[in-house]
Structure formats: C-alpha cells, structure tokens
Amino acid sequence: MRSSRTFTAVDSHTEGMPTRVVTSGLGVIPGATMNDKRLHFIEHLDDVRQLLVNEPRGHAAMSGAILQPSTRDDCDWGVVYIEVSGCLPMCGHGTIGVATVLVETGMVTVTEPTTTIRLDTPAGVVVARVDVRDGHAESVTIENVPSFVVRLDDEVDVPGLGTVPYSLAFGGNFYAMVDLDDVKLPFDRARQQDILAAGLAIMDAINTTAPPSHPTIAGVDHCHHVEFIAPGSTAEHSRHAMAIHPGWFDRSPCGTGTSARMAELWARGELALDADFVNESFIGSRFVGRLVGETEVAGIPAVLPTITGRAWVTGLGTYLLDPSDPFPTGFQF
C-alpha cells in the first residue's frame, strides 16, 4: 500500500452534522495567529481541505476541523475549520465536535463533572465547557465570539425572486436571515431544492451588490449562509433551514447561525440576556442558546452568546492519497 499523503482523524457528528477532526498529517500551519494560519491554508493548502471533505473521502455536506498548536498561551488547542464551502473563521457545531473528541480521546485532561477547554480559533478565543459523566462527553456549551447585526430589515433585488427583505448578522460567519414566507416557500424538506436555489440566489445578490466585511478579522468578507426562518418562529423557539454555499443544508442547528440569530433578536428587543433560545434545524435537532453579556466590536453593539449541544464520535480514520489517484483533491458532484 503506497501513499503520498496520510492523515488521521476522529470523525464525529454534532446533532446530525459531521465534523472530521484531523489529528495528524499536516504539521504546523505557518502563521502568527490562528487567522493568519487560516489565510495561509486558503492560499497554499486548500488541496488538503478538498481531499478530506470532497467525495470520495467526504460528501457534499462534509465539515471538519484541523487541530493545531495554539498561537496563544491561554489556550489549549488551535483549530482551523474546513468544509465544502471553504475555510471558516468559526464553526459552532465543529467546536462542539472538537471538544467532544478531545475529551473522548483523552487529548485534554478530563475532569468531572465539567472539563473546560480553551480553543484558539480564527475568529477569536472560544471556551468549551464539556459536561462529563463516567468519562463520556454528555454535552458541550461553547462561549462564542462577539456577535452583532450589520443590517436590520434591509432589502436586496434577487433575479427570479424580486425584492427580498433580509437582515444580516455575524455570529462567527455572516448570515442573511430571510423569512420563508417572503420567498413564498414552505418549511418542507420536500421543497429543499427550491429553498436551496433561493438561498444561493440571495447569497449571490448580497455578495454582488453589498458584500459584508468584518471590521477586525481579515478575509471575512462574504455571505455564504442564508438562514430561512420558518413560519411561527419566536424568540423562544425558532425553526430554520440553513442554506450554505456552494449548495447544501446544515444538518445541525448551526452554532454560529444560532449566535447570529440571537444577535438579530436582541437588536430587535425581542431576546433578553440570560433567556433560553431554542434553535431547531431542518432535520429537527436542537441547540439551546443564551446571551450572557453585551460588548462591542469596533464600536458596533454586540452580544456574547453561548450555545449548548451534543456530539458523538462516529469513527476513527486514516485517509490516504495514492500518487496514482486521478482525483487528488476529490470532486464535487
């Protein structure tokens, strides 16, 4: 058996969404900060992302995280997030998966009933508090990066859809929030292709006419997520379909999307601090979010979200690249 590249990983899923936690095979990515590492990875190492998330080793909705030494003295591990859409500054479900894997494999010192893990991410420090019983990770609560609204009740002209009302918020990634009623589509997985097509059209219109840009994180300058809000959603319990570039749905309730949604509800005065917010995915899985504080980002009012969810280890893998493989970066189908 021959291989020009070899990677080891622990596979997991967080409320239905996979996280392939890469534990070896890449070495230390150059960069003084984790976002520097992310930007270096995008420019020089994207073939690794494609190899690990595309078919045949991955699939059209694959997601992962590459463990790195932290660039900070106050963190336990660094993380670079990968998925079929690219290399993310932050991933909520992925962080819950990473924390679960670190506990389940003993890659951190495990204490019961709570193991606290500080993660150095491209978007900033994220703290994961893992509820542990009998050595098993029962659930994870992450303290996410500051989240804020960029646009509230804006509109964008979308070919084929007309004028679409939306709000835009950052929760680790930028999210456009759109009521399904406003694009005349039901919250029904039988219509998922129609919802997905609408989401991709909305992303393209926003990125063409008014792309967002994070004021302090370099290279975060697009919207690749549309959170379609189901009818009947409230500030206590919301349901959504999360359409993601280049053409898939989040299976989990989406941690950074939940953070963005809570920031929007807070900006509207509908969600108070320290109140539970249940966010439900397109497959019915749930995260529980809370806003635990207020802050600002470059003068923009922001909130400090927490997200609680569960993850499970699904497998151990060694991923190889035979030098004669005709698909060295996999493929999308």
Alpha helices in 178-274 (DSSP H): 192-209, 255-267
254 is annotated as an active-site residue: yes
**Separation of CA 258 from chain center:** 10
Return the ∠ at Cα 44 (arms to 333 and 86), rounded to 5°.
40
Q: Measure the N-to-C terminal CA separation of the chain; round to a whole number of Å.
A: 27
CA–CA separation, 89 vs 87, rounded Å? 7
Place of tokens 């070919």: 159
| Residues in contact with 213: Cβ distance below 8 Å, sequence separation at least 6, in sequence order | 220, 221
Count CB neighbours of 175 within 10 A. Answer: 31
Backbone angles phi, psi at 199, to 5 degrees: -60, -45
Catalytic: which of 75, 87, 223, 254?
Answer: 254
- In the residue annotation, 91 being an active-site residue is answered as yes
Catalytic annotation, pick one of 75, 87, 91, 223: 91
CA nearest neighbour of 97 among 149, 135, 140, 129: 140
Q: What b/e readout covers 110-129, taking b as 16+ CB neighbours within 10 angstroms?
A: beeeebebbbbbbbbebbbb
Nearest-angstrom CA–CA distance, 315 and 105: 12
Q: Coil, strand or helix: which one is 110?
A: coil
**Residue 114: CB partners within 8 Å, gap ≥ 6?**
129, 130, 131, 132
Q: List residues with catalytic annotation.
A: 91, 254
